[in-house]
Amino acid sequence: MNEAHSKPAIAVLGLGIMGSGMAGRLLGAGFRLTIYNRTKEKAAAFIERGAKVAATPHEAVARANIVISMVADDSSSRNVWLGKEGALTGAIPGAVLIESSTLSLPWVKELAAAAAVCGCELLDAPVTGSKAQAASGELNFLVGGTAMALERARIALAVMSRAIVYVGPSGSGALLKLINNFLCGVQVASLAEAVAWIEKSGADREQMLDFLKNGAGGSPLIKVISERMSASNFTPNFLLRLMAKDLGYAVDEANSHSLDLATGVSALEVFKRAMANGQGDKDMSAVVEQFRKT
């Protein structure tokens, strides 16, 4: 048996900024890969590298031992798994299903139950990192589900990741990702105001940002996003509208525990205004533009 056929067959559903990088890593590692994307144009480069393209999610998962979904939101995930010719109608009993999208907990729990009815196990395994990390195999997977399912999926996750963090039972990975993105969204919104404040004051922006990036309030995210804001480089690495979506899910989840995320609500409003100003399909660093114009 050759090396490719000794590895599990994998299906990837979704070839956006993140899914494309993940699919590329799997192909580079020699996995037999079938891909599905709603718009077929994004599949061309993967066909040249040996991937098979499916017309539907149902078709994509027909021979897959591991199925990975990376889509935009609850609606897209529901459609790819449970829609007409969805993946759960064709999944092999015993397959490990990995939902790596950032989603709401109620939907993740519903999907896990639906997977179990089909004889499959679901891992909620959202990631931290963006375009560059997906392409270079430096993502961090935050995994909820059974430890046994994770061990079966580890061979695939390993080639896409810097770290695989097992958080706990089903839903745990999704919860940690929402908390993580809540913190990130609040940081980016406050950074946008800080950058605009510096610029409007007439001070030396680069000098002040250099101090802030490396001071007590600095973080890896602050360093990266401040550089994009300074350069007005809004080429998408993480879409602004997706951060707004994640903040909305985070606020709703906290509310379900009788917690009002006051800073999360404020950050969400900042991102919603940016979307209303036409910044939704730009990098999330474009959230700064609304403050520059006032």
Q: What is the mean pLDDT of residues 177-184?
A: 98
What confidence score (pLDDT) does residue 1 get?
A: 43
| Residues 256, 199 contacting (CB under 8 angstroms) | no
Condensed to tens digits (0 to 9), the pLDDT of residues 137-151 reads: 999 999 999 999 999
3-169 and 176-292 have identical folds: no
CB 131 within 8 A of CB 21: yes
pLDDT in tens, 27-47: 999 999 999 999 988 999 999
Which residues contact residue 63 at a Cβ distance below 8 angstroms, ignoring those fewer than 6 apart? 9, 34, 92
Distances (CA, A) of 248 to 73, 113, 178, 190, 286: 11, 24, 9, 17, 18
Mean pLDDT in residue range 197-202: 98
In whole numbers, what is the pLDDT of the chain averaged over residues?
Answer: 97
Distance CA 169, CA 50 (A): 35
Query: Could you state, in order of their start, the residue ranges of all structural domains in the chain?
Result: 3-169, 176-292
Query: Which DSSP category does 171 fall into?
Result: T
Is the Cα torsion angle 196, 199, 202, 208 positive or negative in sign? positive
Hey, CA dihedral for 121, 126, 131, 132, is it positive or negative? negative
Asked if pLDDT for residue 129 goes beyond 50, the answer is yes
Condensed to tens digits (0 to 9), the pLDDT of residues 210-220 reads: 999 999 999 99
Angle among Cα 209, 212, 216 to the nearest 5 degrees reads: 170
SS3 content of the chain, % helix, strand, coil (to 5): 55, 15, 30
Across 199-204, average pLDDT: 98
Query: What per-residue confidence (pLDDT) applies to 183?
Result: 98
Q: What is the C-alpha to C-alpha distance for residues 137 and 124, in angstroms, rounded to an integer?
A: 19
- Please give the model's pTM, rounded to 2 decimal places: 0.96
Alpha-carbon span 173 to 171, nearest angstrom: 6
151 within 8 A of 164, measured Cβ to Cβ? no
pLDDT confidence of 294, banded at 50, 70, 90? Answer: low
* Active-site residue flag, 177: yes
Among the listed residues 42, 84, 177, 282, the single catalytic one is 177
What is the Cα–Cα distance from 148 to 114, expressed in whole angstroms? 19
**Given phi > 0 = left and psi -120 to 50 = alpha, else beta, which region is 50?**
left
Report which DSSP code applies to 52. E
pLDDT score recorded for residue 293: 83
pLDDT of 4 higher than 60: no
CATH class of 3-169: alpha beta
User: Of the ranges 2-16, 104-118, 237-251, 263-277, which one carries the lowest mean pLDDT score?
Assistant: 2-16
Residues 280 and 286: their CA atoms lie apart, in Å, by 9
Residue 5: predicted pLDDT = 64
The mean pLDDT of 179-208, rounded to a whole number, is 98
Beta strands 10-13 and 33-36, pairing class: parallel
SS3 138: coil
Element holding 182 (H helix, E strand): helix 172-201
Provide CATH code, domain 176-292. 1.10.1040.10
* 227-256 per-position pLDDT tens digit: 999 999 999 999 999 999 999 999 999 999
Please say if the pLDDT value at position 207 is more than 80. yes
